[in-house]
């Protein structure tokens, strides 16, 4: 039971997906009307999934905790979305996109899933363009492309610096069309509290109405989680404040394996921490590295105005260390390089925890108008926050917690180890290995929602046509609701003195210091003890005002932070177990003489899939061994 089986189709890599679709089980249009599907989350995966499934004829219930689906965190994606269209005629192809993702992920992703993601990328651009997404265009009207970190071609489609918002609006419009047709029933301001499993299969969810406090039961033939990542475990991150990992965590505690939880991307270009009162950090798109040059002064502690520091006294360290890719090295490489410069005393700004991202040369060569056309809204955002114009003064940037490559383990069907429970987008682990290439999150999320899940879920639902759904009065629903309510009341009854936010902030500091950009055995073991102590203090002294049956945002926060304590321990244990360095996971004990990540392929070429064993028992590790038949596994070099 629960044995890992990735269910990868036979045949050549480039033919697996087409052969899968040719052989998969179908559900006839008349039978689709008899099947109900729950989709939790309305971001760049959830909205397309709900819309596409409804368009196919299924009955869909869509859930989000925001007041409207269009407030999903996907709106914050800035730089672009990848596709292998090869519009620039610069040598791009589906295989090259696949290879860049495998290499960028430091050979810790499953070949078949990554190739499929690359394969459907072109259809995504056609879909979004047909929906009216206003991608940037060349003078002749063709869609424009720019390049991103970790690649040597231009394949990223963009809408200035607000691509995520525009792409999400395409999915949102498709979703609202199905709502108007009556094929999607929308439930906003709902928090998913638990997965309901009946006879071994996911059959529904328990939710709380965040306006009235009412606890609700919802039943379906299949459940899809499109609930994003858990980067807010660091407290300060680029994610929306309310982003969380609770839905995935509840699925884990019901039997879904959690894959590679310690693989968390630290984004290299974020506005540095400005004060101790911040609740989040602001992303500055990786696309800025196309025209911006990253540097620090050659002299330690140089406090001069950056415009007064001549070129010969500047260290363009990425261009110096990685001449083949320069400022466009992958995110993990750029983030560690910035940290190293700052830790060595070359950082800038009041805290010394920042480096410069300079557009002087680009403005001089291309003109302010051209640069504004590419990045205008990002420059305005930076100036609004810092009071300085990037047209005149270099930006200051520093790495911050961003994207989680880890997530619920899924097979080729995007199904978890709980039959009938699917996870798509950032909620699953599947396509990015140990480090995600820029502009591949929108690509993977949209691909899962529009083109992959609608096929793979059919393969599952074809055997569910005659299944009679259980009543929401079934014992499994009653038990799940009672357990959820008991837990919420437990928060309310603690009646301590400290706020939820204070605990979240302290947990975030522990995770950032010991399980962030750099990790070592001593620090990780220390972190486990610190997390455990803080968790006990939380359950003893947190203060939750208000009641269950009313709007209670502190109660919402408490349930999420309580989950973060448990998830944090799984992340740290996963990081302790993986003694190699790979991608964003950097164990100080495993590095080259030049300070680069050093994999240990003969011991760690696997996906770590963790199984919940109980609150008082250590999780059980399962290993999905990775086989590379279409790429040569070698040292990742960007020099």
In terms of DSSP bridges, do strands 258-259 and 606-611 run parallel, antiparallel, or are they unpaired? antiparallel
CA 443, CA 428: separation in Å to the nearest integer? 14
Whole-Å CA distances, 153 to 84, 86, 123, 139, 420? 10, 9, 19, 20, 39
CA 596, CA 494: separation in Å to the nearest integer? 47
CA 171, CA 49: separation in Å to the nearest integer? 9
Q: Position of tokens 């699917």?
A: 422
CA 309, CA 360: separation in Å to the nearest integer? 12
CA 284, CA 282: separation in Å to the nearest integer? 7
Nearest Cα residue to 558 out of 616, 495, 509:
495
CA 328, CA 560: separation in Å to the nearest integer? 35
Nearest Cα residue to 181 out of 60, 66, 72:
60
CB 440 within 8 A of CB 425: no
CA 308, CA 60: separation in Å to the nearest integer? 60
Enter the tokens of residue 300. Answer: 């330690």
Phi-psi map region of 41: left, alpha, beta (phi>0 left; psi -120 to 50 alpha) = left
- DSSP letters spanning 212-265: T--EEEEE-SEEEE-----GGGGSSBSS-TT--SHHHHHHHHTT--EE-TT-EE
CA 526, CA 529: separation in Å to the nearest integer? 5
Q: Which residues pair with 428 in a beta bridge?
A: 408
Helix (H), strand (E), coil (C) string for 31-84 = HHCCCEEEEECCCCCHHHHHHHHHHHCCEEEEECCCCCHHHCHHHHCCCCEECC
- DSSP letters spanning 157-202: E-STT-HHHHHHHHHHHHHHHHHHHTSEEEE-SEEEEEEEEETTEE
Q: Position of tokens 């609930």?
A: 227
Catalytic residues: 331
Extract long-range pairs of 48-51: CB within 8 Å, 24+ residues apart: 48/171, 48/174, 48/175, 48/446, 48/449, 48/450, 49/224, 49/226, 49/424, 49/448, 49/449, 49/450, 49/453, 49/454, 50/175, 50/178, 50/184, 51/171, 51/174, 51/175, 51/177, 51/178, 51/184
CA 607, CA 258: separation in Å to the nearest integer? 10
Q: What is the dihedral of CA 173, 177, 178, 182, to 10 degrees?
A: 140
């Amino acid at each position: 039971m629960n044995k890992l089986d990735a269910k990868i189709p036979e045949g050549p890599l480039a033919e697996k997906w087409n052969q899968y679709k040719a052989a998969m089980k179908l559900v006839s249009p008349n039978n689709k009307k008899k099947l109900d599907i729950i989709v939790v989350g309305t971001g760049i995966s959830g909205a397309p999934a709900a819309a596409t499934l409804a368009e196919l004829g299924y009955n869909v219930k869509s859930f989000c905790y925001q007041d409207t689906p269009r407030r999903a965190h996907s709106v914050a994606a800035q730089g672009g979305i990848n596709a292998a269209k090869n519009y620039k005629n610069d040598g791009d192809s589906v295989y090259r996109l696949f290879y860049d993702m495998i290499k960028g992920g430091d050979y810790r992703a499953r070949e078949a899933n990554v190739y499929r993601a690359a394969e459907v990328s072109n259809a995504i651009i056609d879909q979004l363009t047909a929906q009216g997404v206003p991608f940037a265009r060349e003078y002749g009207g063709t869609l424009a492309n720019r390049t991103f970190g970790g690649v040597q071609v231009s394949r990223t489609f963009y809408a200035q610096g607000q691509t995520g918002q525009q792409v999400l609006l395409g999915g949102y419009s498709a979703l609202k069309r199905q709502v108007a047709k009556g094929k999607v029933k929308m439930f906003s301001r709902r928090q998913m509290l638990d997965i309901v499993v009946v006879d071994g299969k996911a059959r529904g969810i328990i939710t709380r109405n965040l306006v009235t406090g009412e606890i609700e039961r919802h039943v379906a033939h299949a459940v899809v989680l499109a609930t994003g990542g858990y980067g807010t475990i660091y407290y300060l991150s680029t994610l929306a404040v309310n982003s969380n990992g609770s839905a995935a965590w509840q699925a884990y505690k019901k039997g879904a394996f959690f894959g590679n939880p310690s693989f968390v991307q630290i984004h290299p270009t974020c506005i540095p921490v400005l004060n101790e009162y911040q609740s989040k950090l602001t992303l500055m798109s990786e696309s800025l590295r196309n025209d911006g040059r990253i540097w620090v002064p050659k002299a330690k502690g140089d406090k001069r105005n950056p415009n007064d520091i001549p070129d010969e006294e500047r260290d363009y360290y990425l261009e110096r260390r990685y001449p083949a890719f320069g400022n466009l090295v992958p995110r993990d490489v750029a983030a560690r390089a910035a940290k190293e410069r700052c830790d060595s005393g070359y950082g800038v700004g009041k805290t010394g925890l920042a480096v410069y991202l300079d557009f002087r040369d680009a403005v001089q060569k291309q003109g302010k108008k051209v640069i504004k056309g590419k990045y205008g809204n990002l420059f305005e955002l930076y100036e609004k926050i810092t009071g300085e114009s990037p047209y005149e003064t270099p930006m200051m940037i520093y790495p911050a917690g961003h994207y989680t490559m880890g997530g619920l383990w899924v097979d080729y069907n995007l199904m978890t180890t709980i039959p009938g429970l699917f996870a798509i987008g950032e909620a699953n682990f599947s396509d990015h290995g140990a480090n995600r290439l820029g502009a591949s999150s929108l690509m993977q999320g949209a691909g899962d929602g529009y083109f992959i899940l609608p096929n793979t879920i059919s393969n599952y639902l074809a055997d569910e046509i005659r299944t009679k759904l259980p009543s929401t009065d079934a014992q499994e629903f009653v038990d799940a609701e009672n357990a959820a309510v008991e837990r919420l009341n437990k928060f309310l009854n603690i009646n301590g003195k400290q706020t939820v936010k204070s605990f979240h902030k302290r947990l975030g500091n522990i995770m950032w210091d010991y399980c962030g950009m750099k990790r070592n055995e001593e620090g990780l073991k220390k972190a486990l003890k610190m997390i455990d102590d803080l968790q006990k203090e939380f359950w003893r002294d947190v203060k939750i005002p208000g009641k269950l049956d009313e709007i209670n945002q502190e109660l919402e926060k408490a349930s999420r932070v309580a989950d973060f304590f448990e998830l944090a321990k799984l992340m740290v244990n996963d990081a302790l177990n993986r003694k190699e360095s790979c991608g964003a996971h950097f164990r100080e004990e495993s590095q080259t003489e030049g300070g680069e990540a050093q994999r240990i392929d003969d011991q760690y070429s696997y996906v770590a899939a963790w199984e919940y064993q109980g609150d008082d028992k250590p999780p059980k590790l399962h290993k999905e061994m990775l086989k590379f038949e279409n790429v040569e596994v070698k040292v990742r070099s960007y020099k």
